[in-house]
Amino acid sequence: MASGGLGDAVLFSLILPRLAHLAHDGEQITLLVPASAAKMSFLFGPDVETLAVDYNRVAKERPYRREFETQLKDRCFRLVISTDYLRHPKRDELLIKACNAPECIAMTARPWKKYDRLLDKNRVLYTGLFESGPPLLDKVIRWTLFANWLTGEDLPPPPIRLPDARRPAATPRPRPAVILVPFSAVPEKQSPVELWETILDTLPAGHDIIVTGAPNDPAKNPTFQALLACTNVTFNDSLFESLAPLLRAAKLVISVDTATMHLSVALGTPTLCLASAAYVNEIVPYAPEISPPNAHIVYTAMDCQSCLGQCIHPAENGMYPCIARIDPERVTEKIQALLGDNPR
C-alpha cells in the first residue's frame, strides 16, 4: 500500500522489484495507490496489479469506503505492507485494517501531532513495525532500509534511473527538443512566467520547445498564454506513459518539482529542476548517493527549509518565498552550461 502522489510513484517504482521477492510462487502482487498515482502504473511492470483508490472518498463517503473495504477483504491477502512513513490513521489505516491480513508490516509512522494518539493506538494493526530513521531522510533511502529489513538483504539504495529494459525508446525527432514543465498541482511551487520567458530567451536556436502539462493548465495559468504563443513553442498534454518517449528524446527538460521531473530524471534525460526548499533532505535535491549525473537541481537555501510544504512565511507573489527567490542568473548559467550559450 502506498498513498503518495505521482512523484512518489516514480521513485517507489525503483524499490518495488526488491519487495516483489516477498511474494510466494503463484501469488498476485497488488499495489494499492491513489487514483492519481495509478497514471504511473506502466512503471511497475506487467506482473504487478495496480489497484486505484480515492482516499478523499474513503474519508468522506461511507458507501464508497465500505465497498472498497469489502473488495480488499475478499482478496484474502497473505501479507500487507504499508510503504508510507507519513500515514493517515483515518484513511490509509482504515484500508489496512480492512485487508484483515494475517501478516501486516509497516514503518513506524512519522510523528504527527494531530494524529499521534490515534497512530499509536493503531500500532496493534501490525505484526511488524520497522524503525526507519529520523524524520528527515531521503525517501528512497528510507524505502531501501525498509526493503532490506523485510528481505534480509543488504543492498545499497538504487540510483534514480530506471533499468534499460523498463525505459521506452525515444521518439525520433527531426530537430532537438527542449521540454519545459512550468506547471504544478501546487501553484506556490511554480516559478513566475517572467523566469520562463527568460529561460526561453536563453535557449539556443534550432530547438523545438515543448511545454507539457495537464489539459487545463493553460486555462488555469492565463499569464502563460504569451509564452505558449511563441514561435517553435507547442503544448503537449499527453499522459505520462505517452509522454515518456518524448522525455527520453529531449536534449534537456527544465521543470518545477513535479512528477514529470522525477520521470525525466529516471529516464536518464538531462533535467534541470527549479525546486523549492521544502523537501530538502527528503526528496529534492536527491541524496548524493542516489543522484544521477543527469539531475541538476536549483533551489534557494532557507533557514526554514525542509518544511515539507508547511510554509511559515507569507507567499511572495503567490509563491513560496524559496521559489520566488530563485536567482534567474543561476538558472540561465546552468542552461548555457548544459546546452551551449548561443541565444535563440
342, pLDDT greater than 60: no
Rounded to 5°, angle at Cα 140 from 256 and 152: 170
Percent of the residues in the chain that have a pLDDT greater than 70, as a whole number: 99
Cα-flanking dihedrals φ and ψ of residue 271, to 5°?
-135, 130
Q: What pLDDT sits at residue 63?
A: 96
> Is pLDDT of 75 > 90?
yes
Reading phi first (left if > 0) and then psi (alpha if -120 to 50, else beta), residue 320 is in beta
Is the confidence at residue 176, as pLDDT, over 70?
yes
Cα dihedral: 140, 143, 144, 148 (round 10) = 180
Bridge partners of 129, per DSSP, are 106
Would the pLDDT of 30 be above 90? yes
Give the lowest-confidence range in 97-106, 195-204, 308-317: 308-317
> What would the grid cell of residue 170 be?
525515444
* Res 341 pLDDT > 70: no
Strands 233-236 and 295-298: unpaired
Read off the pLDDT of residues 245-267 as tens digits, 9 standing for 90 and up.
Answer: 999 999 999 999 999 999 999 99
> Is 5:29 a contact under the CB 8 Å cutoff?
no
pLDDT band at 340 (very low <50, low <70, confident <90, very high): confident
CA separation for the pair 222, 205 (Å, rounded): 26
Cα–Cα distance for residue pair 288/230, rounded to 1 Å: 37
Collapsed DSSP state (helix, strand, coil) of residue 56: helix
Instruction: Decide if 256 contacts 192 (C-beta within 8 A).
Output: no
For residue 20, the model assigns a pLDDT of 94
* Nearest of 263, 269, 327, 317 to residue 293 by alpha carbon: 269
Burial of 197 (0-12, 13-18, 19+ CB in 10 A): middle
**Closest listed residue to residue 3, CA positions, set 102, 79, 106, 124:** 106
In order of their start, the domains of the chain are: 6-151 (3.40.50.2000), 170-339 (3.40.50.2000)
Mean pLDDT of 190-214: 94
Q: 143 with 130: CB under 8 angstroms?
A: no
Cell of 293: 549525473
Does residue 43 contact residue 9 with C-beta atoms inside 8 Å? Answer: yes
Instruction: Give the HSE-up count for residue 237: Cα atoms under 13 Å, Cβ half-sphere.
Output: 7
Angstrom distances, CA of residue 247 to CA of 85, 116, 183, 269: 30, 41, 16, 7
pLDDT of residue 266: 98
Average pLDDT over residues 223-227: 92
3-class SS at 136?
A: coil
Nearest to 51 by CA among 25, 26, 77: 77
Calpha distance 187→139 (Å, rounded): 23
| CA quadruple 21, 151, 262, 278: dihedral sign | positive
Going by pLDDT thresholds of 50, 70 and 90, the confidence category of residue 343 is very low
What's the predicted TM-score (pTM) here?
Answer: 0.95
